[in-house]
Every structure is written in C-alpha cells, then in structure tokens.
A and B are shown apart, each in its own frame.
Chain A
Amino acid sequence: MIIRKPGIYKLDEINDYLASPNMSNAQSQYARKEPVILHVDMDAFFASVEQKERPWLVGKPVVVGGDPQKRHGVVAAASYAAREYGIKAGMPLLTAKRLCPHAIFLIGTDGDKYEYVSSHLLGIFYQFTPQVEPYSIDEAFLDITGCERLFGPPAQLAKRLKEKIKKQLGLSCSVGIAPNKLLAKLASSLNKPDGLTLISRDKIKEILSPLEVTKLCGIGDKTERVLSSLGIHTLGELASYPVEVLKRKFGKNGEWLHLVANGIDCSPVFSQIMPEKSMGHQRTLPEDITQPEDINSVLLALSSMVARRLREKRFVGRTITLRVRYSDFVSLTRSETIARPTCSEHIIFRVAQKLGLGLVAGIRRVRLLGLSVSHLTRDRQSLQTSLPFVEYIDKRKRIYSVMDRIRDRFGEESIRWAGATTFV
C-alpha cells in the first residue's frame, strides 16, 4: 500500500487545511519543503524487453504470458499494438487469443532476464537520488526533493532520467511528477506510453475532479461498486461527498477515501530496504497431485529454495508455514514454530512434511504448494566458531555450503536433492 491510511492527521486539521484560501501556504505548516516525488513506470515492460531483444517484433501486437503448460495462463504484459485489440494484463491467454488471433504470443519467457533489466533500472535511479522505493519489477518512486541544484527543475531531471533509460536499455517509460506518491503514480498513468506528466499543487483539483474513481491507486472494483451505488463516479464527486457518510459506509477507509480524492497522501518514500519478515516460495504445479511422495518431492524442492535464500541473506527462522491450494481453489495454511531458528532445508522439510500430512492426506487434489519461513533473526551461529569435535562435524552444513557454491556458479538448477522435484 503506497498511501498511508488516515490517522496521521486529525480530520479537523485536514478540513481546515482544505478550507484555507491558499492550500500551498497551509501546506508549509506541515512540511518544511514542498516534496517532489517521481513515479517511474516502464511501458509494457515485459513486452518491450522482448521487443528490444527481437527487433522484428517492434510495432507488432506482442503478448507475454505465463506458461499454460504450467497453468500460469494469463497475460503478463501486452505491447501497445496488442492493447489496441483490448488485450490487458491479467487476462486469460485464451481470451487474448480470441481478441487478436494474429498477435505474437511469447510464452514462458525467462524471468531472470526481467529481473536483470529491473536491477539495471534501479541502478539508473540511484544516479539521481538515494531515495528510491522499488514498487514492483518495473515501477519505482523517487523522492527528488531538493535535487534542483544538481539536476535543475523536476521536469528537466525527469527528461534526463527518461533519456538515460532509453539510451542504456532501449526502453521507454512514463514519468509522473507530483507533491506526493499518490499523485505521482496517477500522473505517470495519464500520458502513456513515453509520457511525462506533472501535477502541480494548484492543478490538483482541476486534474482529479473529472477522473473516474478507479484511476487512483487503492480504489478497486469493489470500492467502485459501492461508490457508484452512492452515485459517486468521479473523484470530484468523491471529494465533495460528506465524509461522515463515507465513514459510516467504509469505516476507517472512508476517511482515507476522502483524503485521496482530495489528492492528499503523506506516505514517505521507503528508501531503506525493509528488514525482511519472512521468506518463502510457492509454485503452481504443472498438474494436480495427490500422492504423498509427489507432494514431498515438491516440498523438498521448496525447502531447499527457501533455505538457500535464508543462508544467502544470513537469516535463520523459527516458524514454518505451509500453504496448500486444492484443485477447487480452496486454500489452507498451517504453520509450526520450532525451538531453534534454522536455515537447514532438512529441518524445514521435516516440519513441512509433518504439516503436509494434515493437509494433503486423502483424496484432495493439490494445485499449489507454498512454503515460507518467518520469525527471522540474524544468523549468529555463522559468526561464532565452534570447537572442532570430530563427533559433531556438521556434514549437512558442509553439503549446504558446497551446494550453495555450485549454484552460485552454475545456476539454481545445476544441483538439487535427488528426492526433490524440478520446476523447470
């Protein structure tokens, strides 16, 4: 959630603030410096990366999707040419195919490639400001307050940023500039693709009023339905709607709706890497499984992936959570907390297996399995050396470290436990 929920300001304060003749003057009471937030959103990211790699695809309707064989059969990204046919991200591939039969479908493409481009992007952002909050694989917020002296006015900085991305990665992006994250995200979506949109404080009302409520990040279909039953369709209508009624209808969120409709958002750009609370992996299986040995082989593979990530980040965890989704899409989770924090796949697997017994025994068909470890603490054991007792040489620890090194060099799938399934 990018927008801080209400409770930061008292509502009376907000109303006074809105009623004041010059809002930008009132603002100065709350913040010493007018914040400048940039939202950068790549245009049709996955599709553009593919087009960059295969230039003959440029200008053609390109659809990147998950592998239907692995049952990830939805559209991950569609090029702008494809969007003209009404293809949207998140839509089943079959629907896309019906809308545009001659589109080029790229299925089950290489996820690592996108990660790589994404990390490169992040590197470019850091050349402008250290205050970067990655929001998804192809989106980020940048706090560029006070960067004018280095890079000139915000719009100029944004232009340079766009040029740099174009030059180094050959990709286009849309940038929004605004006094807060909420509006910056909105701004970047207003002129896509390759847009640069600035929402200045005095234009907020003018820009927001005619827009549909769903344009704002955080207002989805569900909220929209309730709002439209109240006769609210545009943000302008929402902004002037009595907040008391909204509060009665939506509870705490009512206040929040009132604020965002007025373009108010106080959430900071989280530039620090947040301490991780849990680590996990989940997989939709290529086909439903029921046999305990099949389930165990998936659990071992997941345990191994989670354990490796824990070791890589030097964490150990105590709570192991197993998530199961059955073929009827009913999901269940079970967790267990163990006495000693661990980063051993054997221990994680043993617990997962035990949890699995209760969940998957019987005839229900399992569609998805997920495993996560939480209650994380820093692995202190890795720093504290141990007396060299022959009896206690930890063979497993040695095996883990060798496996980790092999994977570092030759890739994640280069070595695995014989009993573990492979997801490739």
Chain B
Amino acid sequence: MKFSLPKSKILSCVQDVMNAIPTRTTLPVLSNMLLETSNSKLKLAATDLDVSVMATIPLGSTKKGALTIPARAFYDILRELPECDVEIHLTENRIELKAERGTYKLSGIPAEEYPKLPIVNLAKEIKISGSDLGKMIKKTIFAVSADETRPALNGVLWQTSGKDMQMVATDGHRLARISLKNTKLKGLHGDIIVPPKVLNLLIKMVEQEDEEVGVIFGENNIIFNLGDTVLASRLIEGPYPNFEQVIPKDSDKKMVVNKEFLTGAVRRMSILANTLTHQVKFSLKKDNLELSSANFDLGGEAKESLPCDYVGEHLDVGYNASYVLDVLKQLEGDDVVFELGTEVSAGKIYSMEKKEGEDYLCLLMPLRLAE
C-alpha cells in the first residue's frame, strides 16, 4: 500500500517507538519496527518483549498491510531528510521512501514473525492526572534497585486503594514513598510492581501538565494510553517486601535545616569524599550541623558548619553523599527535616512544608563511619 505523510509528523512517532528497540538482542526481528495500515490508520510499534511502544497516525484510506523494517536505518533516513512530504510504499517484503529528489529502499521481515503485542482494551481504562503520575514516578524512581538478585525491588510498587494511591521504591539502602489522596482512581484495589523503563518513558512523554493518562491494569501487564501513543510493560512478580515495618517510629532526634544550604554543602563535601563510599559525615550538636569528608588518595579534607534546629543529644552519622543529594533534589519547600535514630539506623527525611493530600517520605541508611 501507499501513503504520504509530512516528515516531521512521522519522525516524531518513529522517535517515540524507537525507545522500545533493544540495543542488543538475540532475536533479530526485535531490531525491526512494525508498520501496519488498517482502518485509515498507520500503526508503528516496537517491543523488547518487556516494554512495547505503539503509535498511530491517521491516514486517508489505504489498503491493509503490514511489514517490519530495520528500525535504526528507517529512523536515520527520516531524520536526515529535509522537511517535506514523504511517500511511503510498503510491499510484501520491502519499504520504499520517496522524498523530494530521493528514493530509499529497505528490506523487511514479514509481520507474522513479529511477537504479539498487547491488546489495548479501552473498556477497562481508568483516567489519571498526568501530572500526579509524573510527580509520583519522579519522586520514587531514583530509589529503584539495580540488583537483579532481588527482582521485586527492580520496580516501583504502585498501590491503589479506593481513592488513595501510593508509590514506593527501595534498593535496600534507601527508600522513597509518596502517597496521594483523592485521585480519580475510584474503587480500585491492588498492588503492582512496574519496571522503571516504562515509567521513565512515560515521564518523558507526558509533557503537558494537565494531560490525562489512560491506565489499563492488566493481569500481568500495564498499559498507558497517551492518545496517539500507547506504552505497555510487563509487570514484575511480587511479593514486594513489607516496607512499612522498616519505617522507624517518630524520633526525638529531629533536625530542621535549610534545603539550599544543605544541598550546596553536601555537593562541596562530595568533591573531597572517598571516591568509593562518597561518605559525608553529619555531626549533630545543639543547633549546629557540621559536615565533613575526607579523601586520603587526594590528601583532601573538607568541613562546613550549618545552622539548624536540633535539640537531641550529640550524634555522628555517615551518609553516601549522592544518596543524600538524590533525596534533597526531590523534596519541596525551603526546609527539610531529618529524623534520626542511631548511627546505624534509618534516617527519615521529609519536607517541613506539608501539602494537602500528599505525603512524601524518604529513608536513608547510614554508612558505617570508618575509624
């Protein structure tokens, strides 16, 4: 079949779909992109068997047809073309692109050899605010574990219960949890563990603040419907560990400190911190936080004092500077609260500023201070 589309239109869809093309694969057909025409629509799709991306572009009427073509080459050709109308001609095993003065031909693999893509069942779709979703993902995804020995921790736990929604991620050393009330998820109950890849794609694609995202919770997959583009991902099998039990009860060792000051100081400490541990030492005394780090390879030492609100007893605790910065980056408001226990127990970190219907909390495990 034949059809014609402006270059920019088709390129932006191809770009989205490219995200699902695996960089390395043992199954050659996976480095191809599926092109399918039916019902006056062009469908582009790719999958790495975990994550699939599907995009549709409306067309004038055209014949039914399907082919998979080498994705990278297809994308590179489109990218290098000047802005113009591109005429695409799909045959049984070849694609031909005609643009201005040029013709480009590529061999494909029959569509029958392409893996089955998830079916989008719109009847089960639930609408969620894109900005809520994006916020929850951003505030938790940094804590997802990369350690493959604990598969459940390789994703974000997404809990829905009535109107409440919660996301949790942890790698065993830190944990982030965000809960939102009064979301539009009515009467839905369940826990799913979503791999970070699809969530990262989602935040990249949900650009407009007030855009709504359709979500379809499947048996072992999840589908995000963004209108023209649909993302799907397999889910990670649980159970997720009981994270509630590792959240410490309220502590009296509470420190309140200015977020900007602390961020700047920790960044400076990390320059001279041990390159392996990134250790920054927090020395808490009455209303004074002293930060210090040392790197013996450089013969470097750094120290900085910050004013803070603190009334508990003297406490020395070490943290990985990059873990601290990851958390500070996500906290809102001017001041942050550190609720501490001992030098080897979890520190609870949250923003001083409370938002209606939102609860965000991070846990950070200390580094043992080397003598």
Q: Write the residues of chain A forming the contact surface with B, with a CB cutoff of 8 angstroms.
A: 339-340, 377-378, 380, 382-392
Contact = CB atoms under 8 A, between A and B. Distances in A.
B130 interface: no
Given A390-B242, A391-B241, A385 B344 contact: yes
Contact of A385 (B147, B149, B366): B366
Contacts of B366: 385
Contacts of B170: 387
Q: What 9 A-B pairs come out closest when comparing CB atoms?
A: A391-B241, A385-B365, A387-B246, A389-B241, A386-B172, A383-B368, A383-B367, A385-B344, A380-B276
Contact of A389 (B147, B148, B242): B242
B173 A387 contact: yes
Interface string B223-257: 00000000000000000011101100000000000
B148 A391 contact: no
A387 B242 contact: no
Given A383-B370, A384-B277, A385-B368, A392 B172 contact: yes
A379 to B, nearest CB: 9
Contact of B175 (A340, A380, A387): A387
Contacts of A390: 241-242, 245
10 contacts: A377-B276, A380-B276, A383-B277, A385-B173, A387-B175, A389-B242, A389-B243, A389-B245, A390-B242, A391-B242
Given A386-B365, A387-B172, A389-B242, 5 more contacts: A382-B368, A383-B279, A384-B173, A386-B172, A388-B245
B242 A339 contact: no
Interface in B334-371: 344, 346, 363, 365-368, 370
A384 B320 contact: yes
Interface string B168-184: 00101111000000000
B98 interface: no
B329 interface: no
Contacts of B189: none
Interface of B: 147-150, 170, 172-175, 241-243, 245-246, 276-277, 279, 320, 344, 346, 363, 365-368, 370
Contacts of A391: 241-242
B152 to A, nearest CB: 8
A383 to B, nearest CB: 5
Contacts of B243: 389
Contacts of B148: 339-340
A391 B152 CA distance: 11
Contacts of B245: 388-390
B31 to A, nearest CB: 24
A389 B368 CA distance: 18
A392 B147 contact: no
A378 B320 contact: no
A386 B170 CA distance: 10
Most chain B beta carbons < 10 A, residue from A340, A387, A388, A392: A387
A384 B174 CA distance: 10
A387 B346 contact: yes
A385 B170 CA distance: 13
A389 B172 contact: yes
B299 to A, nearest CB: 16
Given A389-B241, A391-B241, A384 B147 contact: no
A123 B174 CA distance: 45
Contacts of A384: 173, 277, 320, 365, 367-368
Contacts of B149: 340
Nearest to A378: B276
A392 B245 CA distance: 13
A382 B150 CA distance: 18
Nearest to A377: B276
A392 B241 contact: yes
A377 B243 CA distance: 31
Contacts of B174: 387
A388 to B, nearest CB: 6
Nearest to A380: B276
Nearest to A339: B148
B277 A380 contact: yes
B174 to A, nearest CB: 8
Contacts of A386: 172-173, 365
A340 B242 contact: no
A390 B277 CA distance: 25
Contacts of B367: 383-385
Most chain A beta carbons < 10 A, residue from B148, B172, B245: B172
A395 B246 CA distance: 18
A319 B246 CA distance: 34
A7 B347 CA distance: 56
B246 A340 contact: no
Contacts of B279: 383
Nearest to A391: B241
Most chain B beta carbons < 10 A, residue from A382, A386, A390: A386
A377 B276 CA distance: 9
Contacts of A340: 147-149
Contact of A387 (B320, B365, B368, B370): B365
A383 B319 CA distance: 10
Contacts of B344: 385
B293 to A, nearest CB: 14
